[in-house]
Chains A and B, each alone.
Chain A
Amino acid sequence: MLHLMKSELIKLRTLRSTLTATIVLIVFPIAVTVLSAMFAESPGPTMVIEVLTNTGTVSMLLCGVLGVFAIAQEYSQGTIRITFAATPMRMKVFAAKAIVISLWVAISVAVLEGVGLIGANYALDSRGFDFGVIYNPSIFNGSARTGDSAWQVLFAFGAVCILFALVGFALGALLRSSPGAIAMLILVPLLVEGIVTALLIAAFDIDISRKTPFTAAVRAVQVEPDAARWGLVGYFAIWCCAIAALAAILMKRRDA
C-alpha cells in the first residue's frame, strides 16, 4: 500500500495542473485575508476567520477539482490501464488515491490556514490591534450560540475541504471525464441545489434547503452556523461516502 501511495504522490506532484490548482487554493484566501486585515476599518478575530473561510469556498471547490484530477485525468489520458495493469486489485488503487488526495488537501489547507492566520496577525499587530487567536483560541467567541472556538471553525473548514476532494475524486471516477465531473462539482452546489429547493417549495411546498449536502458543507464552516457544526460536516460526509462507495463499486466492475 505504501508503494501505491508513493506512486500516487508522484502522479500528483508531477503535473502542472495539480500544482497550479494547489497554489491557487492556498494563495487566494491568504491574500484576501491578509489584505482585509491590512485595510479593514474595524478588524478583529471574527472578521479574520470569516474572511478566511468565506474566501475559502473557492478553495473548497478547488479541492474538489484536485480530487477530479486525481482520477479523471487517468481515464482521459489512458494511464488508468497502466495503473490497473500494475495493480490489478482496483480497490487498493482506489484507496491509495483517496488517501493521498486527502493528505495532499489536508496539508494544503493547513498551510492555507496557518499562513493566513499568521499573516493576518502580523498585519493587525502592525496596525496596533491585538489579535491573539493563534496564541489563545479562547479569545475568539465566533459563535455565541455554540460557543465554538476559532479552531472548531478552522478544523471544520479543513474537514469540508477534504470531503470536497473526496467527492470530486468520486465524481471523477464515476464520470471518467474531468470536464463533466468539474461541471457537476461546481454546478450542483452553486446552482442545482438552489433550483431544486426552489422548485420543490413552489410545486409541493416541501423545503429541503436544510437537507441539501453541499449547502450543509458551506453552512458547516460559517462562524455562526444555524445547526450543530459537526452534525453538518457529518451529514455532508455521509453523502460523500455514499458517492465514493458507488464510484468504488463501478470502478471495480467496469472495463478500464
Chain B
Amino acid sequence: MRVIHVENLTKKFAGVTAVDDLSFTVSPGHVTGFLGPNGSGKSTTMRCMIGLDHAQGGSATFDGVAYSKLTQPLHRVGTLLDAGNAHSGRTARNHLMWLAASTGISKLRVDTVLEQVGLSEVSRRRVGKYSLGMKQRLGIASVLLGDPEVLILDEPVNGLDPEGIRWIRDLLRDLAKEGRTVLVSSHLLSEMALIAEELVVIGQGKLITQCTVGEFTARYAKQWVRVVSPQVQALKTLAVAWGATMSEENGAMNFYGVTAAELGELGATAGVIFHELSPQTGSLEDAFLDATASSVQYHGAQSEGLAH
C-alpha cells in the first residue's frame, strides 16, 4: 500500500476551478516535493486525496484503494495539513490520546512519538501555549502515531527553526529510505532541493510537470557559461558571431546560448586564454519561477514601484 495515484482530479468551489484534471503518481522510496505558487491548489489536492473535500471528478487512490475505503487509515496514511489543527485548550498529550484512541493505538505509542518529536517534556502543556514550531512537531507526531506507510505533509517546515528544519529533513529522508511514500509541499524551494528527489509541479490547479529535481532544473532553469579571461573582448566578438548573448557579473562574463565546449573551441581558434570556463545552472527557485510564471495568481509589487 505505497503508491499514490491521482487521476483526473477536479475540484471546483462556487464555479472556480481549484484543481483541474490533475494526474500524477507518487512512488515509495524517496521524498516527492509538491510545488506550486500560492493558490495553485496544492492544499485542496491534498484534502481531496484524503476525502476531506469532495472532488467533482477523478480519483486519488493508495495502491488502488480510495482513502475512504481504507480500514484504520491512520496506520496506512499519515497526514499533516495544518499544524494549527489542534484544540488550543487541550494538552499535546491529550490531543494525541484521543487520536490514538480512535484507532485503538496504545498510550505507549503516544509517549514514543512525543519522544521522537522532542515534545515529551512539554506534552502536558496546553497547545495554545505552543509556538508554531512546537505545533509543527505535534502535527508530525500525529502523522507518525499510526506508523503509516504513506506520509502526506503540507508545509511541514513552516515555523521551524534551523535545527527543526534539519530534524524534519533527516526524518523525512529516513522515512523514505525505509521504503515509505512521502509527499511534501513547501514554499521553501531551497529546502525542497535538499529533501526531494522527485517533483510534482502544479499551477492554477493543473499539472505543469512531474520529474526529478535534476530534470526540472535542466528543463526550466537558465543555463550559461561563466568565463574569466584576460582576452574577453576577443571572445565576445567570436561569441556574438556564433549567436550567443552575454552579461557581465563581478569581473566575469556570462555567455548564454552556447555551451562551455563550444565556447572553449571558439576561444582556442583565436588563442584566447581562459582563467575560468564553467557551465552554470540556475537554482531550483529560478526554475520554479520560470516554470510557474504564467500560473502565479498573486503578484507582489515590484521593489521599484514600492520605492515611489
Binding site for B on A (CB under 8 A): 3-4, 6-8, 10-11, 14-17, 73, 77-79, 81-89, 253, 255-256
Contact in complex: B103, A3 (CB < 8 Å): yes
Q: Does B86 contact A (CB under 8 A)?
A: yes
B188 interface hit (Cβ, 8 Å): no
Do the beta carbons of A14 and B91 come within 8 Å of each other? yes
**Chain B nearest CB, measured from A104 CB (Å):** 15
Given A14-B90, A85-B79, A86-B73, A256–B52 Cβ distance below 8 Å?
Answer: yes
Contacts A15-B89, A82-B99; A88 near B84 (Cβ below 8 A)? no
Number of interface residues of B (CB under 8 A): 32
* Min C-beta distance of B77 to chain A, whole Å: 8
Residue of B54, B73, B89, B104 touching A3 (CB-CB under 8 A): B104
Q: Is the CB of B102 within 8 A of A3?
A: yes
**Dominant SS at the A interface?**
helix
Structural contact, B98 and A78, CB atoms closer than 8 A: no
The answer on a CB contact under 8 Å between A255 and B53 is yes
Our pick among A8, A14, A15, A79 for the contact of B85 (Cβ within 8 Å) is: A79
The contact sample of 29 A-B pairs, CB cut-off 8 A, is A6-B101, A6-B102, A7-B99, A7-B101, A7-B102, A10-B98, A14-B94, A14-B98, A15-B87, A77-B85, A78-B82, A78-B86, A79-B86, A79-B87, A82-B86, A82-B99, A82-B142, A83-B102, A84-B52, A85-B50, A85-B51, A85-B73, A85-B81, A86-B73, A86-B74, A86-B103, A88-B51, A88-B68, A88-B70
B187 CB–A CB distance under 8 Å: no
A15 nearest in chain B by CB position: B89
Of residues 101 to 140 in B, which have CB atoms within 8 Å of A's CB atoms? Answer: 101-104
B285 to chain A, nearest CB (A): 30
| Complex contact B81–A81 (CB within 8 A) | yes
- Cβ–Cβ < 8 Å partners of A253 in chain B: 54
Q: Which of A4, A10, A85, A88 has the most CB of B within 10 A?
A: A85
The verdict on A10 contacting B88 (CB below 8 Å), with A78-B82, A88-B73 known, is no
Q: Which residues B237-251 have CB closer than 8 A to chain A?
A: none
How many A-B residue contacts, CB cutoff 8 Å?
81
Task: A87 to B102: give the CA distance in the assembly, Å.
Answer: 8
For the complex, is B47 an interface residue (Cβ under 8 Å from A)?
A: yes
Contact status of A255 and B52, CB under 8 A, knowing A3-B103, A4-B102, A14-B94: yes
Q: Does B221 contact A (CB under 8 A)?
A: no
Residues of B within 8 A of A10 (CB): 94, 97-98, 101
A17 to B67, CA, bound (A): 33
CA of A3 to CA of B67, assembled, Å: 19
Q: Smallest distance from the beta carbon of B261 to chain A beta carbons, Å?
A: 53
The 4 closest A-B pairs by CB, nearest first: A78-B85, A7-B102, A10-B98, A14-B94
Nearest chain A CB to B113 CB, angstrom units:
14
Residues of the B chain whose Cβ atoms lie less than 8 Å from the Cβ of A4: 102
With CB as the reference atom, state the residue of chain A lying closest to B54.
Answer: A255
Which residues from chain B contact A14 at a C-beta distance below 8 Å? 90-91, 94, 97-98
Which A residues lie within 8 Å of B89 (CB)?
A: 15-17
Q: What's the Cα separation between A79 and B87 when bound, in Å?
A: 7
Return A91 CB to nearest CB of chain B, in Å: 12
User: Which residues of chain B are within 8 angstroms of A78 by Cβ–Cβ distance?
Assistant: 82, 84-86
Contacts of A88 in B (CB 8 A): 50-51, 67-68, 70, 73
Q: Is B88 touching A81 in the complex (CB atoms < 8 A)?
A: no
Complex contact A73–B87 (CB within 8 A): yes
Minimum CB distance partner of A93 in chain B? B102
CB distance from A250 to the nearest CB of B (A): 12
B79 contact set on A, CB distance < 8 A: 85
A residues within 8 A CB of B91? Answer: 14
| Chain B: CB-nearest residue to A87 | B102
With CB as the reference atom, state the residue of chain A lying closest to B98: A10
A122 to chain B, nearest CB (A): 37
Q: In the complex, which of the residues B51, B87, B101, B103 contacts A84, with contact meaning CB atoms closer than 8 Å?
A: B51
Cβ of A81 to closest chain B Cβ, rounded Å: 5
Chain A residue with Cβ nearest B87 = A77
Which residue of chain A is the closest to B48 with respect to CB atoms?
A255
Interface centre among B47, B89, B142 (most CB of A within 10 A): B89
Identity of the chain B residue whose Cβ is nearest the Cβ of A256 in the assembled complex = B52
Quick check: B90 and A15 within 8 Å, CB to CB? yes
A3 & B101 in contact (Cβ 8 Å cutoff): yes
Residues of A within 8 A of B74 (CB): 85-86
A83: B residues at CB distance < 8 A: 102
Chain A residue numbers with a CB within 8 Å of B84 are 78
Contact A81 B102 (CB under 8 A): no
Give B124 Cβ to nearest chain A Cβ, in Å.
11
**Is there contact, CB below 8 Å, between A81 and B85?**
yes
Q: Is the CB of A86 within 8 A of B102?
A: yes
Q: Mark B25-55, 1 if CB is under 8 A from A, else 0.
A: 0000000000000000000000100111110
Cross-interface CB contact of B47 among A79, A86, A87, A255, cutoff 8 Å: A255
